[in-house]
Structure 1
Amino acid sequence: MKTYLIGIGLLFLSISVSFAQSGVEQEIKELSKAKWQWMADKDVGKLEPLFDDKSKFVHMSGTWKKDRELEVIETGSIWYKNAEVHDVAVEIFGETVILWNRITLQAVVRGDEVSNEFTVTEVYQKQDNSWRLLALTFSSVRDVHQIVH
């Protein structure tokens, strides 16, 4: 009987951990989707508290920190018009989450309209009950690329 109760307890524990992870996974997916929209809208007011003060952004043309990324977005130096998300994978590591998006990005870069396929790696960390973006990296890929789940 004791073994049976321990087994039932472990089953409930694994189910609750699974639901908690899927809840975090969904929360991060929704946050990432909102982030793409805020970038398209050039809404630095919503992006500023999301981006950690030490965050880094890796683009095809360079790497920079939070202040420069916000400036790039606000001035339209890069206008992220639309990120069409094709695939998403999420891994949870305690209070840190990594999200991979495979996207087609429609953007205006220094006045030129462009379309590129990317895998975008986003690293989030829970800090004081809210998620902060620590890193965002664009990796150029072909449209046949698939994210490993």
Structure 2
Amino acid sequence: MEKVIEISDKIWQALKEANADKLMDLVHSNAVFVHMGVTLTRDEEMDVLKAGKIIYKDVSFKEKSIHEFDTLVVLLNQVKLTAIVDGNEVINPFVVTEVYTKINEKLKLASFSYTKINY
């Protein structure tokens, strides 16, 4: 499903721009964001973004795969993420699991989870 790639690209772009308003349209109100040390609600994630606690500096995508299940779509992104976290630059390889729910044929992000990988 190509549409999920388009939505994912918009989400990543909004994260890099720290554009919480743009994200609100793409993210389900009950969504969760799972980072390496914390799990946040949608609103908590938006607060972190607005406060600049995480600044998405660069993301390079290595591989993407889509898995569809009835009303769910799972997008796995293998990425190398460079971010500023609490003032410190960090570079990590992750698999980011994006889970989307279909509501009246429209996809909304339900979960965004980072899993650090070791090469």
Give the TM-score band, short-chain normalised: over 0.9
For residue 53 of structure 1, report the CA deviation from its aligned partner. 1.2
Check if 1:75 corresponds to 2:55.
no
Structure exhibiting the larger radius of gyration computed from Cα positions: 1
Residue ranges of structure 2 left out of the alignment (5+ in a row): none
Two-structure CA RMSD over aligned residues (Å): 1.1
* Structure 1 position 129, deviation (Å): 3.9
Which amino acid in 2 is paired with 1:122? E
Identity of aligned residues (%): 32
TM-score (normalizing by structure 1): 0.76
Tell me the amino acid that sits aligned with residue 72 of structure 2. Answer: T
> In the alignment, what sits opposite 1:90?
66
Considering Cα pairs closer than 8 Å and 6+ residues apart, tell me whether 1 or 2 has the greater RCO: 2
Corresponding residue to 1:112 among 88, 92, 95: 88
Aligned length: 119
**TM (normalized to structure 2)?**
0.94
Taking the TM superposition and a 5 Å limit, the aligned residue runs for 1:1-149 are: 25-142=1-118, 144=119
Runs (4+) of structure 1 moved beyond 4 Å? Answer: none
**Letter aligned with residue 55 of structure 1:** A
Tell me, in whole angstroms, the C-alpha distance in 2 between the residues paired with 1:64 and 1:43: 17
Structure with the higher fraction of residues in strand conformation: 2
Do the aligned partners of 1:36 and 1:82 also contact (CA within 8 Å) in 2? no
- The CA distance in 2 between the partners of 1:38 and 1:81, in whole Å, is 12
Give 5+ residue unaligned stretches, structure 1.
1-24, 145-149
